Amino acid sequence: MAGYQFIHYEAYARNGNEKKRSLISIAEEADRAPGSHPHVLNPLPPETLLGNSFVDAARQLVSAADESRVNHGGKKRKLRKDANVGIGLIASHPTSLNDIHALPEPDRQRMIDDVRDWAEDVIMFAQAEFPDLVRVAALHWDETHPHIHILIGNTDPTEDFEVNHKGEQARRRAQGNDRSAHGKKAGNDAYIREMRRFQDRYHHEVAMHHGQARLGPGRRRLTRAQWQKEQAQADALAHSKRLADEVQSKIENDLADAAMQAQVIVDASQQEAKHQRKKSEQERVQAEQERQQAEALKQQAAEEARQASELKAQTEQVKSALDERVRELSKYDGMFGKVLGWLGIRQRIERKAEAKFQKQIAGLKKEVDSLSARIDRDDAVKKQHDHAVGALNALQKVLSVSVEDYPSLKEKGALEAHFEYIQKIIDMNLPVGRLEEELNERMDSLRLSQHQSCSLATSPSSKMSY
């Protein structure tokens, strides 16, 4: 059985005396400094639960007290060396170490864990009683019972220093400046009430949850049977509390696991939604690009159709000009044409017709040049444009031939046949590339005929026959 509770705290000054030790001395004992614990035969290092060193923390409290001031008669004065500046709290577990070590190993370890849980609860209780003032806490395993030491105090200097001991604070409030026996009694009664309230709070917050009674059997004059019954009830309560804590802990763990799983699901859903949004955005961008490409192709096709229409119109104009020239030149064929040729009239008529035709060709060339400036940089369109220009140039060459340069055209019907051949090629509506090739071949044929005529005219056989 656990037994009853024990917790006590006391304020200490910077300097000790024959009745009370100094704050530093108490801290050295809690740290198990050599020579500071004559009552402990086999000292062990403390199990630190909060902070680091009691001595270091105590020195910080002392330093803060040295720099602090207190109101005295309306003036700010330094603290007296015997003024309390820190609190040492000690709480002991009712189960002895001998009883703990006598338990079987599984039970012994479980009991040690229970003691540590109790120590953690004591620290939480102290932090609630003295907010922001708990500096160091350590568990000792080297005396008859496991017990915890806690150091409490302010490490920051203050211009209005107040002792942190709740009982002393209650005494001062009740007694005030009354130094009489009545005033002192009122102060002492207030001190006792506050310290009893402190014990009651500790029992309600800590002890009862660990199977510890508020008071021992001797103080209440209980029989052994009554005390054992009360301890059994306290143990049952503590066991129920542990079971409730375990259930609560399991519930919290399950809730935490469920929350974690829910978070994983949420994260996965968010990730999938993000992926789908990204995919949709990519598809939207791709669709927009395809739409723009389609629009560009549509515009290109429209441009090519417009250019084809313009080229067709130009071809029609060339055809009309060719028809007109054939009609004009056909009038001068035959004997009448030869007579005009002898008189030089035919040449003038041809030059006039040539000038007129060249003017038409120049106009068409100007339109082609204007069209060139508007043609897109696309290779296919540019190539088509180049073929069109080549075809136009070739057409200009075959239409500009003269009988002086090509005497073979002087033969009867040769000139008319030449222009009829050109008109036939144009009527075939060949692609501009093919049209260019046909016209160039026609010019090559004329040049070849001219070359053969010259060769025959200068050959010895020709001279001899002549």
Residue 14 sits in a domain whose CATH number is 3.30.930
How far is the CA of 217 from the CAs of 12, 205, 220, 418, 437, in angstroms? 31, 21, 5, 145, 130
User: Do residue 201 and residue 327 come from a single domain?
Assistant: no
What pLDDT is recorded for position 465?
35
Q: Is residue 286 part of a domain?
A: no
Q: From CA 149, how far away is CA 230, in angstroms rounded? A: 28
Q: What's the pLDDT band for 464 if we cut at 50, 70, 90?
A: very low
Q: Is residue 210 part of a domain?
A: yes
Containing structural domain, residue 208: 6-215
Q: From CA 77, how far away is CA 65, in angstroms rounded? A: 12
Instruction: Name the average pLDDT for the chain.
Output: 78
Q: Is residue 292 part of a domain?
A: no
Over residues 239-251, the mean pLDDT reads: 58
User: Do residue 174 and residue 312 come from a single domain?
Assistant: no
User: Do residue 199 and residue 332 come from a single domain?
Assistant: no
Which of 61-70, 106-115, 243-252 is predicted with the least confidence, judged by mean pLDDT? 243-252
Which of 12-16, 163-167, 313-317, 368-372 is predicted with the least confidence, judged by mean pLDDT? 368-372
Q: What's the pLDDT band for 228 if we cut at 50, 70, 90?
A: low
What pLDDT is recorded for position 391?
77
What pLDDT is recorded for position 118?
93
Contacts of 238 (CB under 8 A, 6+ apart): 2, 208, 209, 210, 211, 212
What pLDDT is recorded for position 161?
83
Number of separate domains in the chain: 2
* Measured torsion, CA atoms of residues 212, 214, 216, 217, in degrees rounded to the nearest 10: -100
Q: Is residue 247 part of a domain?
A: no
Q: Are strands 75-78 and 69-72 parallel, antiparallel or unpaired?
A: antiparallel
* CA quadruple 54, 55, 60, 63: dihedral sign: positive
Mark which of 215, 244, 259 sits at the end of a domain. 215
Contacts of 413 (CB under 8 A, 6+ apart): 333
How far is the CA of 139 from the CAs of 12, 26, 74, 123, 245, in angstroms? 21, 15, 43, 11, 23
Starting from the edge strand earliest in sequence, which strands make up the sheet with 6-13, in order? Answer: 6-13, 84-92, 147-153, 134-140, 47-50
Query: Which residue in this structure is represented by tokens 């060949």?
Result: 430
Contacts of 456 (CB under 8 A, 6+ apart): 462
Q: From CA 375, how far away is CA 183, in angstroms rounded? A: 114
How far is the CA of 262 from the CAs of 256, 378, 392, in angstroms? 10, 58, 78
Q: What's the pLDDT band for 188 if we cut at 50, 70, 90?
A: very high
What pLDDT is recorded for position 297?
76
User: Do residue 200 and residue 340 come from a single domain?
Assistant: no
Q: Residue 309: is its pLDDT beyond 80?
A: no
What pLDDT is recorded for position 227?
47
How far is the CA of 413 from the CAs of 285, 402, 418, in angstroms? 68, 14, 9
What pLDDT is recorded for position 255?
73
Distance of CA 432 to the CA centre of its chain: 60
Q: Residue 329: is its pLDDT beyond 80?
A: no
Residues shown for the chain: 466
Q: From CA 143, how far away is CA 6, in angstroms rounded? A: 15
Q: Is residue 229 part of a domain?
A: no
Q: Is residue 105 part of a domain?
A: yes
Of 428, 420, 443, nearest in space to 327 by CA: 420
Q: Residue 439: is its pLDDT beyond 50?
A: yes
Mark which of 163, 191, 215 sits at the end of a domain. 215
Q: Is residue 383 part of a domain?
A: yes
Mark which of 177, 196, 215 sits at the end of a domain. 215
Of 359, 11, 336, nearest in space to 166 by CA: 11
Q: From CA 114, how far away is CA 209, in angstroms rounded? A: 11
Query: Which residue in this structure is represented by tokens 């079987």?
Result: 104
Q: What tens digit of pLDDT does each residue of 120-160 get?
A: 999 999 999 999 999 999 999 999 999 999 999 999 988 88
* CA quadruple 401, 403, 406, 410: dihedral sign: positive
Q: What tens digit of pLDDT does each residue of 380-398 get?
A: 666 776 777 777 787 777 7
Q: Is residue 300 part of a domain?
A: no
User: Do residue 200 and residue 341 come from a single domain?
Assistant: no
Q: Residue 30: is its pLDDT beyond 90?
A: yes
Which of 22-26, 71-75, 134-138, 451-455 is predicted with the least confidence, judged by mean pLDDT? 451-455
Q: From CA 432, how far away is CA 391, in angstroms rounded? A: 6
User: Do residue 179 and residue 315 come from a single domain?
Assistant: no
Whether pTM exceeds 0.85: no
Ranges 178-192, 317-331, 423-437, most confident: 178-192
Radius of gyration of the chain measured on its C-alpha atoms: 61
Q: What's the pLDDT band for 312 if we cut at 50, 70, 90?
A: low
Contact assessment for residue 372 and residue 314, using Cβ atoms and an 8 Å cutoff = no
What pLDDT is recorded for position 441?
86
Which of 66-75, 101-110, 186-195 is predicted with the least confidence, judged by mean pLDDT? 66-75
Q: Residue 257: is its pLDDT beyond 70?
A: yes
Q: What tens digit of pLDDT does each residue of 91-124 get?
A: 999 888 999 999 998 899 999 999 999 999 999 9
What pLDDT is recorded for position 466?
31
Contact assessment for residue 147 and residue 49, using Cβ atoms and an 8 Å cutoff = no
What pLDDT is recorded for position 36?
83
Ranges 30-39, 130-139, 290-299, most confident: 130-139
Other Cβ atoms less than 10 A from the Cβ of 128: the count is 11
User: Do residue 312 and residue 210 come from a single domain?
Assistant: no
Contacts of 119 (CB under 8 A, 6+ apart): 49, 93, 137, 139, 146, 148
Q: Residue 336: is its pLDDT beyond 60?
A: no
Q: Residue 411: is its pLDDT beyond 70?
A: yes
Q: Are strands 84-92 and 6-13 parallel, antiparallel or unpaired?
A: antiparallel
Contact assessment for residue 443 and residue 451, using Cβ atoms and an 8 Å cutoff = no
Q: Which helix (H) or strand (E) segment is 8 a member of?
A: strand 6-13
Q: Look at 55 and 362; give whichever has higher pLDDT.
A: 55
User: Do residue 343 and residue 208 come from a single domain?
Assistant: no
**Type of residue numbered 223:** T
User: Do residue 211 and residue 320 come from a single domain?
Assistant: no
Q: Look at 31 and 218; give whichever has higher pLDDT.
A: 31
Q: Residue 373: is its pLDDT beyond 50?
A: yes
What pLDDT is recorded for position 426?
79
Share of the chain above pLDDT 70, in %: 71
Contact assessment for residue 146 and residue 115, using Cβ atoms and an 8 Å cutoff = yes
User: Do residue 186 and residue 325 come from a single domain?
Assistant: no
Contact assessment for residue 4 and residue 213, using Cβ atoms and an 8 Å cutoff = yes
What pLDDT is recorded for position 141?
94
Q: Residue 289: is its pLDDT beyond 80?
A: yes
